[in-house]
Structure 1
Amino acid sequence: MGRIGATEIIIILVIVLLLFGGKKIPELMKGLGTGIKEFKDASKGDQATSKKEEETK
């Protein structure tokens, strides 16, 4: 098994387009972006909390 090339990516994108349709894809990407943003915010919050706990020790 090799790396994923341009042809494979194009095939995957076409399949996704056929499955979800053109109107649904922006909604899926928005949800994905929101999820990533929340994950980053939560991880930053955890780091800030752990730094505050270390300073109080």
Structure 2
Amino acid sequence: MFGLGTTEMLIILVLVMVVFGAGKLPQVGSALGQGLRDFKKGMREEDAPVLEDKSEL
């Protein structure tokens, strides 16, 4: 995943826990997931009119 090994992933996880704290980690994960879902939804909605316009040609 993104060229990161197990060691790098563990280091990132520890840094995130230090910065946000273990108590806020679920909230941070939830907000990140919601942001990704909204981004993907926006990308799909943005592509839909383009695909419809091509069918008219």
Which TM-score tier does this pair reach, normalised by the shorter chain?
0.7 to 0.9
**Unaligned stretches of 5+ in structure 1?**
none
- 1:55 Cα deviation (Å)? 2.2
1:4–1:37 CA distance, 2 compared to 1 (3 A): closer
Partner residue of 2:25? 25
CA distance in 1, matches of 2:25, 2:44: 29
CA distance in 2, matches of 1:46, 1:28: 27
- The answer to whether 1:45 aligns with 2:45 is yes
Cα RMSD, aligned residues only: 1.6
Deviation readout 1:1-57 (Å, 9 max, x if unpaired): xx6432222122112111211111111111111111111111111121111122234
Q: Letter of the 2:8 partner, please give it.
A: E
**Unaligned stretches of 5+ in structure 2?**
none
Scaled by the length of structure 1, the TM-score of the pair is 0.74
Scaled by the length of structure 2, the TM-score of the pair is 0.74
